[in-house]
Amino acid sequence: RQQYVGKLKFASLEASQGSKKLVVATEKNVVAALNSRSGEILWRHVDKGTPEGAIDAMLIHGQDAITVSNAGRILRSWETNIGGLNWETSLDTGSFQVASLVGLQDVVKYVAVLKKAAISLHYLSNGHQKWVEHLPGSEGTQYQLLYSHGTGVIHVLGIVPQSHLNVLTFSVEDGEITKQVIRVAAPWLKSLNGVCSVVGEAVLVCVDMDTHSLYVCSLETEQEMKQILLQSLDLEFADGFQPRILATQPNVISASRTQFFLQLSPSHFSLLQYKHGLLSHLRDFQQAALVSFATTGEKTVAAVLTCRSELKPGSSDGLHAGSTLEDSQKQESLTCSNQTYNINLYLVETGQRLLDTTITFNLEQSGAKPQQLYIQVFLKKDDSVGYRALVQTEDHMLMFLQQPGKVVWSREESLAEVVSLEMVDLPLTGAQAELEGEFGKKADGLLGMFLKRLSSQLILLQAWTAHLWKMFYDARKPRSQIKNEINIDNLARDEFNLQKMMVMVTASGKLFGIESSSGTILWKQYLRNVRLGSSFKLMVQRTTAHFPHPPQCTLLVKDKETKMSFLYVFNPIFGKRSQVAPPVLKRPILQTLLLPIMDQDYAKVLLLIDDEYKVTAFPATKNVLRQLEEIAHSIFFYLVDAEQGKLSGFRLKKDLTTEESWEVIIPTEVQRIVTVKGKRSNEHVHSQGRVMGDRSVLYKSLNPNLLAVVTESTDTHHERTFIGIYLIDGVTGRIIHSSVQKKAKGPVHIVHSENWVVYQYWNTKARRNEFTVLELYEGTEQYNATAFSSLDRPILPQVLQQSYIFPSAISAMEATITERGITSRHLLIGLPSGAILSLPKALLDPRRPEIPTEQSREENLIPYSPDVQIHAERFINYNQTISRMRGIYTAPSGLESTCLVVAYGLDIYQTRVYPSKQFDVLKDDYDYVLISSVLFGLVFATMITKRLAQVKLLNRAWR
């Protein structure tokens, strides 16, 4: 199991050299502490996955972390060493704006929370509310800023857009407004966030793009804004960029720093100082990607992340910077040509660079840009400043760096949101490939074949002796010293094909190749042109079985907004982009179909259907197009339009155009389509029927083209809600079965396999979760035992149905799958608690009798009982719970008894399950000594009796 926290939203790095933890809050609604030495999770708290659990703010004071969540409704304090909850308090409803720690006379005692219409002050020690005050004129005024610096008052700033500012001053002791409301005219100001900041002794600094100037105003003494033109400092804004101000207040009981950063363009920052009414320019940063402030003791430093410029000889520095600046404005942020970055520290007071504080790191492997920078500063023994940096890149990777550029650890947080997953067999070893090659090529004559066989046998012998030597060598070492490191070079298929390559696609557009037995990330690839919210479909076009052709995977990426798609073709074992050029998709793709036909290089053919119902084949060689023409009459596909409630079926014509063959309309004003589930293409069915108690056979209705369509009612009233299920033939559009579950609602989880469908829903009348199982049978006689055709099925199958009560909600559901389908099927059910329950399909059998008869006992049918119990011994992941499980993936292995399982959500967990026990493997406690001694004894006894029989025959002959 591997655990993740997700993309960082807030992070706090302790400012001491020996500190061992960093406290983080993430976009996945997780509060956690990471070990700063190794990057492991020390503790983690996962809140609800809905917006209710979203963390709005995090403040750190000493050993406590204060978080505001659920849109400002819940205030919590965590003990950061062990992750315990100190206290929790609920706040009044209202739109949350900002939270801040408040100090009084050198002690930080309170936390202030600013809402849209009220401000409240709470004790840090227990969370009790000290006072709450209503904000005057909150209907028209947007209160967005809060400031205090240990003087016994809290300043609250509100804005009436394009009119004026309101400055309120509250007393910390009793919450009374100590001064009347100050109105400051600011007709150019629309919002305070990012545009305004407080520096020095309560001086508000705002930036205005239109007039190219800064406005300053003291919150305590002045009542109007003072304008300072930026041209006086020779500074210019980039066109169309909203400038930002970044200030810092190292301690809440003392004033803010008078220095602040002004961001003029995506990659241009200036360090300015406003002191005693004068604005001065300290330093300009032309090519900065990110900036950050950090404080240790009395020293405050600014960290700046820039490109490591490798200037070509003869080009001047200024020209180089200017050209990069123009390019970066087009791309909206800094991109380095060589993917190498520097972090430098500058003293805030003077803007001068601190010597020996450069960290250099490279992001060439991922190609992603840095997105956030957090600094941990500490004073060394000689009073110089040392630091470590935490960098988060746009592909959600965390890197913890120390001087001069050593990566202490890195975490791939994009794996917290896996969206698609496939398992690919590992390649053969050199020796196995040699043997494969022997059979795959045309005969080179008798002598040639014989010599080849000899050479391959020698290679095998060599590999075996090397393996024996390694075993002998490792046996002499202690177990802790034996390193079984897995890397791309020594990857090879094991005897029973239990180790596989897991190819994972994450929501951020990053692909991973993970070795299944150890969880080692062997390769990663970042697709930069993928936008947030895109959907992905991963398909294996060629497996490792076709040596010497490399395996090939194709990823279809569909943009959410433009609906346009592109294909990315790569080698799943090494992660390298394939040499094969995929077709350029000019129209939005509606459906994909992986056909069983192959081109001359053994790659399966992928059909892509666009919104004009035209078909693109990939690969599109002459051989493939000829095969497509031959079998076009038997290629059908379906399209689902959930918005219009329409399912339509199309068939392929010889010229690769399509024609509509059927259409089913589900009225959208009554119900909407939730899911459409087909069967898995790699599924094998071993037995065609079930032997009943009277020795007759009940044949299964095995329709490979069957679709299960689930609908939900649009009316959400608990008396009128319902769930509909339709079983539709994907070739003819014939509705084979339809049923309605009244007073039921989703979310619906469904598994469709062999001749059965299991789905789970919430019963609103009985207020419980229920399973319904449908099984389809042809009857005691088969219509056509040799071939199946959807076009020739005059008799509808018999549908058996039964429902069961399940005592828990579920997060994900999948059925086990094996190589030949002999092993009995189990349902793997992911529970919200993080456990995975392995439930035998026999418990969800619609033929379970209410009153057992002789025949049902003969058939081993369990008597019907409406509730399905959750037994803890059926959990396949014991204590390795998976937080916020989103899906379960199953794959067959080389052993018929074994099914490989991967569960993913916030964590990733991989294991093996044995639904029918390990019937094809000898047990661990198998008594080899006894069996061997019995065999030896029998052989010895045979030899003795043979000798005795010969003597007896000889004696008889002499008589």
Using the predicted structure, report yes or no on whether residue 623 has a pLDDT greater than 80: yes
For residue 551, the SS3 value is coil
What letter would DSSP give residue 93?
-
Tell me the per-residue pLDDT of 504-542, one tens digit each, with 9 for 90 and over.
999 988 999 999 888 889 999 998 888 888 889 999 998
Using the predicted structure, report yes or no on whether residue 717 has a pLDDT greater than 50: yes
Tell me the per-residue pLDDT of 273-327, one tens digit each, with 9 for 90 and over.
888 888 888 888 888 888 888 888 778 888 888 887 653 333 223 222 222 222 3
**Tokens in use for 356?**
């020996």
Q: What pLDDT was estimated at residue 433?
A: 65
Q: Report CA torsion sign: 179, 184, 190, 193.
A: negative
What letter would DSSP give residue 584?
P
- Percent of the chain at pLDDT > 70 equals 94
Cα separation, 285 vs 263, whole angstroms: 10
Tell me the per-residue pLDDT of 759-786, one tens digit each, with 9 for 90 and over.
999 999 999 999 999 999 998 888 888 8
Q: Which of 573, 489, 451, 486 is nearest to 523 (CA)?
A: 573
Long-range contacts of 828-832 (CB under 8 A, 24+ apart): 828/876, 828/888, 828/890, 828/901, 828/903, 828/913, 830/882, 830/885, 830/888, 830/903, 830/905, 831/870, 832/808, 832/885
**Tokens in use for 296?**
């240790």
Tell me the per-residue pLDDT of 46-86, one tens digit each, with 9 for 90 and over.
988 888 888 999 998 888 899 999 888 899 999 988 889 99
Instruction: Judge contact between 752 and 727, C-beta under 8 A.
Output: no
Q: What pLDDT was estimated at residue 789?
A: 85
Determine if the peptide bond prior to 619 is cis (ω within 30°).
yes
Q: What pLDDT was estimated at residue 327?
A: 30
What is the mean predicted confidence (pLDDT) over 794-823? Answer: 92
What is the mean predicted confidence (pLDDT) over 620-626? Answer: 87
- Beta strands 359-362; 340-347: pairing state: antiparallel
Work out the pLDDT band at 485, boundaries 50, 70, 90: low
pTM of the model: 0.87
Q: What pLDDT was estimated at residue 760?
A: 94
Tell me the per-residue pLDDT of 635-649, one tens digit each, with 9 for 90 and over.
999 999 988 889 999
Q: What pLDDT was estimated at residue 855?
A: 87
Q: What pLDDT was estimated at residue 538?
A: 92
Tell me the per-residue pLDDT of 891-935, one tens digit each, with 9 for 90 and over.
999 899 999 999 999 999 999 999 998 888 888 888 889 999 999
Using the predicted structure, report yes or no on whether residue 16 has a pLDDT greater than 80: no
Q: What pLDDT was estimated at residue 442?
A: 55
Work out the pLDDT band at 473, boundaries 50, 70, 90: confident
Q: What pLDDT was estimated at residue 149?
A: 85
- Percent of the chain at pLDDT > 90 equals 32
Tell me the per-residue pLDDT of 201-223, one tens digit each, with 9 for 90 and over.
888 888 888 888 888 888 877 77
Using the predicted structure, report yes or no on whether residue 14 has a pLDDT greater than 80: no
Q: Report CA torsion sign: 310, 316, 320, 321.
A: positive
**Tokens in use for 325?**
């600046």
Using the predicted structure, report yes or no on whether residue 481 has a pLDDT greater than 70: no
Tell me the per-residue pLDDT of 943-955, one tens digit each, with 9 for 90 and over.
999 999 999 999 9
Using the predicted structure, report yes or no on whether residue 714 has a pLDDT greater than 80: yes
Using the predicted structure, report yes or no on whether residue 436 has a pLDDT greater than 50: yes
Using the predicted structure, report yes or no on whether residue 877 has a pLDDT greater than 80: yes
Element (H, E) at 430: helix 430-440
What ranges make up the beta strands (E) of 117-240? 118-123, 129-134, 142-147, 153-160, 164-171, 177-185, 196-199, 203-208, 213-218, 226-229
Partners of residue 283 on adjacent β-strands: 271
Tell me the per-residue pLDDT of 342-383, one tens digit each, with 9 for 90 and over.
888 888 888 888 888 888 888 877 678 888 899 888 888 887
Q: What pLDDT was estimated at residue 313?
A: 34
Work out the pLDDT band at 707, boundaries 50, 70, 90: very high
What is the mean predicted confidence (pLDDT) over 407-430? Answer: 89
Q: What pLDDT was estimated at residue 563?
A: 83
What is the mean predicted confidence (pLDDT) over 839-845? Answer: 92
Element (H, E) at 522: strand 521-526
916-935 burial, b at 16+ Cβ within 10 Å, e below that, comes to beeeeeeeeeeeeeeeeeee
Burial of 572 (0-12, 13-18, 19+ CB in 10 A): buried
Mean predicted lDDT score pLDDT of the chain: 86
Partners of residue 59 on adjacent β-strands: 66
Instruction: Judge contact between 345 and 301, C-beta under 8 A.
Output: yes
Tell me the per-residue pLDDT of 654-670, one tens digit each, with 9 for 90 and over.
888 889 899 999 988 99
Residue 734, phi then psi, degrees to nearest 5: -75, 130
